Amino acid sequence: MAKLKIDSDLELLRERVTTFCAQAGYQLSPQAEAILRDMVNMKQLTGDYYCPCQPQRLPETICVCQAVQHGLVEMLGACFCNLILSNNKDKE
């Protein structure tokens, strides 16, 4: 049963982030699956999909976090955890 919950959480988060990227004109990192799995593990421990790169567990650090919603990706080329990338960022 726990595996089903993790798979369900992973699909929900993947859909949330993919939808946001499509609407905002961003793309997912090549490491997206590993980052999404880390967030699902975080949810199992903390109760929500908090950004693994933020020290505080606040509503504004839940993925897709407020910093990303307010232009962080445009300014830096990526979000804090490198899950969401600007389409303008040079591919490495």
Left (φ > 0), alpha (ψ -120 to 50) or beta: where does 25 sit? left
Amino acid at 90: D
Q: What is the mean pLDDT of residues 31-56?
A: 91
Non-local CB neighbours of 66 within 8 Å, separated by 6+ positions: 60
Give 3 or 10, the one with higher predicted confidence.
Answer: 10
* Mean pLDDT to the nearest integer, 3-12: 86
Q: What's the rounded Cα separation, in Å, for the pair 8 and 65? A: 20
- Helix axis angle, 32-46 to 2-24, nearest 10°: 120
Lowest mean pLDDT among 1-5, 29-33, 48-52: 1-5
**At which residue do the structure tokens 């595996």 appear?**
3
Percentage of the residues of the chain whose pLDDT score is greater than 70 = 93
